[in-house]
Homo-oligomer: A and B are copies of this chain.
């Protein structure tokens, strides 16, 4: 065999050894922890920051094309306000505010646990930026925990897009999270998304790996 063939055989052997380390199951899933944040529509961004304003990316997020911005806004509900809500880019079709369940008490807003984009019937809120404010009629949610993955990774884990699974978390505050949605698309990076309250309750950090249980 030529040298490149030896290398190919070695790589295949290494892959087989690594996939067998966990009893043949795919490896644990990395965790991404989100604090409250906001996605803006172009129209709302124009009102809050001025027409033609360009958001400043300060950090690429794990999902391809998504980024955290320097810009923040204040959200105001009937009971209170929360400042420094981070804007995530790029702009979306509809403005979406993802709060923590605890924020809901401060704001006086009852936000349901929903997947991104599933905003029908959710409560609205007032958003204040440096150049103006908007009152959205709906769009406030608590993010339903979910796992991003490629369709081929879903096949490895024995799940498919839209499935609802449970996730096992180890550690002193470990346990099982039910009702976790699988989001398998060709532009996904493998990661389980939880919010800071879920991460704190389970003792999870960005170093934690979780396991799918069905």
Within 8 A of B (CB), among A170-214: 172-179, 195-198, 200-203
B178 and A178 within 8 A (CB): no
Can you spell out 6 A-B residue pairs with CB atoms less than 8 angstroms apart? A101-B201, A112-B172, A113-B172, A145-B173, A173-B179, A198-B201
* Residues of the B chain whose Cβ atoms lie less than 8 Å from the Cβ of A34: none
A176 and B175 within 8 A (CB): yes
- Given A102-B196, A203-B101, A113–B176 Cβ distance below 8 Å? no
Question: Which of B112, B178, B179, B201 is in CB contact (< 8 Å) with A200?
Answer: B201
A142: min CB distance to chain B, Å: 8
* Residues of the B chain whose Cβ atoms lie less than 8 Å from the Cβ of A145: 173
**A109 interface residue (CB < 8 Å to B):** no
B201 and A202 within 8 A (CB): yes
**A88 interface residue (CB < 8 Å to B):** no
* Residues of the B chain whose Cβ atoms lie less than 8 Å from the Cβ of A101: 173, 200-201, 203
* Residues of the B chain whose Cβ atoms lie less than 8 Å from the Cβ of A174: 178-179
Q: Which residue of B lies closest to A195 (CB)?
A: B201
